[in-house]
């Protein structure tokens, strides 16, 4: 078969649109070897993955809405927006994924064991999700941040485990 300039074609494989192409992409083909349908003017225009049967195209079904557990997992991935009423320089969206949880837990463990931040500066620089540094001046500030972030993660994880509950707000205010 010969493609016509200005026309759009769909290659059909196992009843599904496999490829959309024009004359410049494939000027000719052997109709005995591949199934090709002229879709010029077909409305709505079929796309890769659509079904083809009896001369008609059908869009695939919409994906199901995410479950409550999937929504909770997505919240953890998105992080938590922290607003500090006492130290606005701490305001930011912080990561709450597994690596961030582990780093924060280790830091809080050090603080609990030693009553101070590690190092000699007396402060702690912590990066937000965008990589911007924020300086915690006191262990109490970091403790408030840690509590807010871990409460958020724990609430999300409970929903992920049980499939029920109310999604927590991905934001918190700390002193």
Per-residue pLDDT of the chain (175 residues; tens, 9 = 90+): 889 999 999 999 999 999 999 999 988 999 889 999 999 999 999 999 999 999 999 999 999 999 999 999 999 999 999 999 999 999 999 999 999 999 999 999 999 999 999 999 999 999 999 999 999 999 999 999 999 999 999 999 999 999 999 999 999 999 9
pLDDT of residue 26: 87
Nearest CA to 135 out of 86, 89, 88 is that of 89
Q: Residues near 161 by Cβ (< 8 Å), separated by ≥ 6?
A: 69
Nearest CA to 83 out of 121, 128, 139 is that of 128
Q: Where are the alpha helices (DSSP H) in 60-163?
A: 68-78, 98-114, 139-162
Helix 68-78 / helix 139-162 crossing angle, nearest 10 deg: 160
Nearest CA to 11 out of 29, 32, 30, 37 is that of 37
pLDDT of residue 1: 86
pLDDT of residue 116: 98
pLDDT of residue 7: 96
Q: Model pTM? A: 0.72
The answer to whether the beta carbons of residues 56 and 144 sit under 8 Å apart is no
Q: What's the Cα-to-Cα distance from 17 to each of 7, 35, 86, rounded to whole Å?
A: 16, 10, 58
Helix 139-162 / helix 98-114 crossing angle, nearest 10 deg: 140
């Amino acid at each position: 078969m010969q493609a016509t300039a200005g026309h759009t074609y769909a290659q059909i494989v196992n009843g599904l649109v496999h490829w959309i192409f024009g004359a410049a992409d494939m000027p000719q083909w052997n109709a005995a070897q591949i199934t090709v349908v002229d879709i010029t003017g077909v409305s709505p225009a079929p796309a890769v993955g659509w079904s083809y049967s009896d001369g008609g195209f059908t869009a695939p079904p919409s994906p199901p809405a995410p479950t409550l557990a999937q929504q909770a997992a997505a919240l953890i991935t998105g992080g938590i927006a922290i607003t500090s009423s006492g130290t606005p320089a701490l305001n930011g969206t912080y990561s709450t994924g597994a690596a961030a949880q582990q780093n924060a837990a280790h830091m809080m463990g050090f603080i609990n064991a030693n009553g101070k931040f590690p190092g000699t500066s007396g402060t702690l620089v912590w990066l937000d999700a965008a990589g911007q540094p924020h300086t915690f001046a006191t262990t109490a500030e970091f403790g408030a941040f840690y509590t807010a972030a871990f409460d958020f993660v724990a609430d999300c994880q409970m929903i992920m485990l049980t499939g029920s509950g109310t999604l927590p707000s991905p934001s918190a205010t700390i002193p």
